[in-house]
Amino acid sequence: MADPMRIRARAADGVIDARVLMAHEMETGTRKDASGKIVPAWFIQEVTCQVNGKTVMSAQWGPAVSKNPFLQFKARGKAGDKVTVTWVDNRGEKRTDEASVG
């Protein structure tokens, strides 16, 4: 199981500003290791962001997203709302984390 995400969300004037830091290698599949073998691609392909269970934004990523991806998004909402973020990588592994808006 992958490490948990760090989610920080704050609301101001009815807008939630959420910052998510995911722990993932994000291998591109073009890099070679020390022995010259290609490191297989391993990256997050899909990210879904929900506020109070309703999907506000869904993303698909390629291998060009940096290692330990950072994502910031905005949504309508208020303090106390629940922000849920889910990712799925190209190996089919997934992780979901939740945070309440402060």
d(CA 95, CA 86): 6
Residue from 1, 12, 34, 64 binding other proteins (CB under 8 A): 64
d(CA 82, CA 42): 29
Q: Does 2 bind other proteins (CB under 8 A)?
A: no
Q: Alpha carbon 12 to chain centroid distance?
A: 22
d(CA 90, CA 92): 5
Output 71 or 99, the one with its CB closest to other proteins: 71
Binding to other proteins in span 22-51, by CB under 8 A: 28-32, 37-41, 45-46
Output 7 or 69, the one with its CB closest to other proteins: 69
Residue from 12, 13, 35, 54 binding other proteins (CB under 8 A): 54
Place of tokens 């905005």: 74
Q: Do 7 and 18 form a contact (C-beta atoms < 8 A)?
A: yes
Q: Applying CB under 8 A, which residues contact other proteins?
A: 15, 28-32, 37-41, 45-46, 54-67, 69-76, 88, 90-92, 94
